[in-house]
Amino acid sequence: MASNSSNVWIAKMFLLCSLFGLSLVQAYPSGSTHCASGGLKKDRGGGGCSCVGTVYYCAGTSNSCYSRTIGGYTTCSNNVFGDPQYKARKNCYCKPSGCTAGNHGPAGSCTACGVGKYQGQNAFTGSACGDCPSGQYQNQNGQTGCKVSMSSRCFVKSILSFFIILIYIF
């Protein structure tokens, strides 16, 4: 059975995490990538992490992590996140927010781009897909680019044929 002092400590940590937008998770999520190494103690700060999404500050072998959603750069240190495990080596992982290529946001409710539209970026946070340029089309949903239309291909072949004929004549 946990002592009263450990229950108080857990309650204080929960309150602090809630106030500062931090959360304690058990492991960094799939889809995240290592972006910096932290220190062993709070006075030995770590590297920095550039991320638009969620940064996970995790203790080495325990997979105990604190997380914070950011929109740029953060230092990976106990001073910023708290200490998920005393004297353990820490690492930061970034899980980008936004939609995968072929989809548009807002993040968390991504929708496939419609016919005639495309979106070629991963971690896309925009709300609209782009229209296919003149001479190109897209006849499927959720695409990352547009196809060259047959009329454009025929036009290009006609011009090439014309130049080949001119070269042959002269």
**Which of 96, 127, 152 is the C-terminal boundary of a domain?**
96
* Containing structural domain, residue 136: 103-169
Query: How many domains, the chain?
Result: 2
Q: Which CATH number goes with the domain that contains 108?
A: 2.10.50
pLDDT tens-digit profile of 145-169?
A: 999 887 645 455 566 666 677 677 7
Same domain, 79 and 109: no
CA dist 161 to 112, 157, 164, 168, Å?
39, 6, 5, 10
Same domain, 89 and 8: yes
Three-state SS for 50? strand
Q: Is residue 87 located within the same domain as residue 115?
A: no
**pLDDT tens digits for range 70-126:** 888 998 888 888 888 888 888 888 888 888 889 887 766 788 999 999 998 877 777
